[in-house]
Each structure stands twice: as structure tokens, then as C-alpha cells.
Homo-oligomer: A and B are copies of this chain.
Amino acid sequence: MHSFSELSEQFCNYFHIPNFDREPKGLYEPCAYFLGAGGKRIRPVCCLMGNELFGDIHPDAWNVASAVELFHNFTLMHDDIMDRSDLRRGRETVHKKYGEASGILSGDVMLIIAYDYLNKIDSKLLPQTLSLFNKTAIEVCEGQQLDMDFEKMDHVSLEQYIEMITLKTSVLLAASLSMGAFLGGASKENCDKIYEYGKNLGIGFQVQDDFLDAFGDEKKFGKVIGGDIRRNKKTFLMLYAMENSNATQRKELLRLMDENPIDKVERVLEIFEQVGVKQWALDLRKKYADAALKSLGEAEVAEERKAPLIDLTDKLLNREV
């Protein structure tokens, strides 16, 4: 059995980019550039970990892990265009560097190559793997659409936000784990437990991400604090604050978002403090961590095999603040 970081290193060695050293350069170079920027490779490693939960890693798991990573990068490349982001992982985004047409077309070809990786697996396992992969891919598109819809809406409920996050982020983690488990010979029940584990892990991970943006330590977090607040992003924290503030506080929040004063982040954090956002977010994160670990606990496999996933949960959901 391997830890997340061991598998992450193995995956990086496996997942070379020579695939993309082909012609026409205009199509493949942006793929190599984008994939070469690295990233945490959480999703493919989850696939490997879900697989290793039930035995030694099956060769097919590497192919599905690669498909998942390509799919994820395809979504990022296209999201960057839709969100008009100029930077990703500290580098220029593809559409910024190579033009928008490249961002679209190179993203498209990465998605198709993802399907080509899926097609390398044992044909007996293909239909069910493809079925979950497709379902998930469709959900991720739906999540991105909801995210864009929410930006234009005045009011978004916490429930709606959780639905969006589930689709946009957490189902891919869940499916990666579950496809890995399936390739490892896990029963339907066990695959479902692992899926639930991943779904809760994914939502908890977003809570954590939103939390760190407001309350993280800039040095450890590696990003400037308050980016979401500056961009008026509807995060877990902001939605909770809007729903639980009194009339004066809410009016002030709306004013800050509207007027964008220089001390906006500070002032919003003051209101977060008054409304008790920090403790609520910590509790919420714990709620999802507990739910994830409960599902993992229910998976019928020797307890010691679960250790790497328990560590991962801790790593993702209890990053130092």
C-alpha cells in the first residue's frame, strides 16, 4: 500500500506528456504546456488509491487515472476561457498564451484522448467504467453551468451552492475513487461506499478551500487571502453570512460588494466574525470529514487497507490554518 504522496510521484512518472509531442504543434503544444504545469494530481491518485484499497494496483487503473487527469485538465482549460482567467498555477492560461481558439480546440482533443485511455482497459470492464465516467463528465458540465448561472443571480441558497459544488467538483473525486475500486474488483456496495466517501471528501475540500481564502495563513496557503471576497464570490462563507446576518450587517455586506472599498476584505471579515462564520465553517468541514470517514468505515475491506485514505482525508480537510 502507498501513501498519497508516493502514488502522486508514481503517477507523475507514469503520466508523461510525450503523448502531446506530435503534429500539428498548434493543437498539441498547448496541451503539453498546460499539463506540464503540474497540479496536485489529486483525482488520478484517488483512482489509484480506490484501486489499491482492494488489492495491488491493477494496470487498468493507470489508464483510468490518466483519463481522469486529462478530463480534469480539459475542464480547467475550458473553464479558464469561460471565467476569463489569465493565470492558472502561476502561469498564463492557454487561451491567454495561445489564443482562444487554441484553448477550445486543445481542450477538446484532451477530452477525446481521455476517452482513448479509457478504451485501453479490459473490455469486460469498459462499459461500466465508461458509464460512470460519462455520467460524471455530464455532471461536471452541469456544475460549471450552475456556477456561471449563480454569478448572475442575486440570491443563491447554501443548498443550491452545495448542489453546484457537488456537481462541479466532488463527483469527479467520487467517481475517480469508485472507478478505481471497481477495477480492483470491489462489489457494487463497496463501490457505492467509496463513491460516498469521495463525494463528502470533495464537498469538505471545497469548504476548506473557501475557508482558507478567508482565514488561512498566506504563507502556508500560498495565495493572497481574501481573493474570493474581493471578487464577490459566492462561497460557503459568504452565503452563510448573508443568510445569518441581521439587516444592518447584510446591508453593509451588499454595500461592500457593490462599492469595493480598499478595506473591503477587512470589513467583510469583521462581519464574518460577528456572524460566527469561522466556527460554522469549521463545524461544516468536520461534518463532511465525518460523513466521508463513516462511508469509508462501512466499506467491507480490512481496516488496515483504509489507512492511506484516512490520511488523505486528514491531509485535505485539516490543512493547517
Contacts and interface: CB of A to CB of B under 8 A. Distances in A.
Contact of A119 (B100, B123, B134, B141): B134
A138 B113 contact: yes
Interface residues of A, number: 36
Nearest to A130: B119
Interface string A2-27: 00000000000000000000011011
A81 B108 CA distance: 13
A104 B78 contact: yes
A312 interface: no
A56 interface: no
Nearest to A152: B26
Interface in A83-141: 100-101, 104-105, 108-109, 111-113, 115-116, 118-119, 123-124, 126-127, 130-131, 134, 137-138, 141
A26 B137 contact: no
Contacts of A148: 26, 101, 105
Contact of A78 (B105, B138, B141): B105
Contacts of A273: none
A105 B141 contact: yes
Contacts of A108: 78, 108, 111, 141
A246 interface: no
A111 B109 contact: no
B82 A27 contact: no
A80 to B, nearest CB: 11
A138 B114 CA distance: 11
A279 interface: no
Tell me if A's interface is mostly helix, strand, loop or mixed: helix
Nearest to A133: B115
A137 B112 contact: yes
Contacts of A119: 127, 130-131, 134
A146 B111 CA distance: 19
A149 B112 contact: no
A104 B148 CA distance: 13
Given A78-B104, A104-B82, A108-B111, A26 B127 contact: no
Given A23-B142, A109-B141, 6 more contacts: A27-B142, A81-B100, A81-B101, A105-B144, A105-B148, A119-B130
25 contacts: A24-B146, A26-B148, A26-B149, A27-B141, A78-B104, A81-B100, A81-B101, A82-B104, A82-B105, A101-B148, A104-B104, A105-B144, A108-B111, A109-B138, A109-B142, A111-B111, A111-B112, A112-B138, A113-B134, A115-B130, A119-B131, A123-B123, A123-B127, A126-B126, A126-B130
Q: 4 shortest A-B CB distances, which residue pairs? A: A27-B145, A82-B101, A109-B141, A112-B137
Interface of A: 23-24, 26-27, 78, 81-82, 100-101, 104-105, 108-109, 111-113, 115-116, 118-119, 123-124, 126-127, 130-131, 134, 137-138, 141-142, 144-146, 148-149
